[in-house]
Amino acid sequence: MISFAVLGGILLNIGAFLTFRGKIYEAVIVYLFADVCWIIMAYERDDFWGVVSIVFGVTFGFLAFIKMQKGQMNKSLNTQKKDLDEN
């Protein structure tokens, strides 16, 4: 039987591939599903602090996803020289 850790790892690889292909929204969704697998895994192992830290990470990831969907996320990958001079 496949464990939640392995399933989360597979989803992590799929998310990384989607990120590589430039499909950021899809990648974030896959990453969130991977996080859910790791929350279940940590809960099964009675790792309270692991569950808490993963839940915080999932919350921030979900908020970032919402911010990206609304178009409020600032891009920093393709900054121009003039953009850097303004800061």
Within a domain: 79: no
Do 16 and 24 contact (CB within 8 A), yes or no? no
Mean pLDDT of the region 17-24: 89
Within a domain: 80: no
| Residues contacting residue 15 through CB under 8 Å, at least 6 positions apart | 27, 28, 30, 31, 34
Number of domains within the chain: 1
pLDDT above 90 coverage of the chain, percent: 16
What residues make up the domain containing 61? 4-72
Provide the pLDDT for residue 63: 85
Within a domain: 54: yes
pTM of the model: 0.68
Within a domain: 67: yes
The residue whose two tokens read 């003039």 is 82
pLDDT at 79 over 60: no
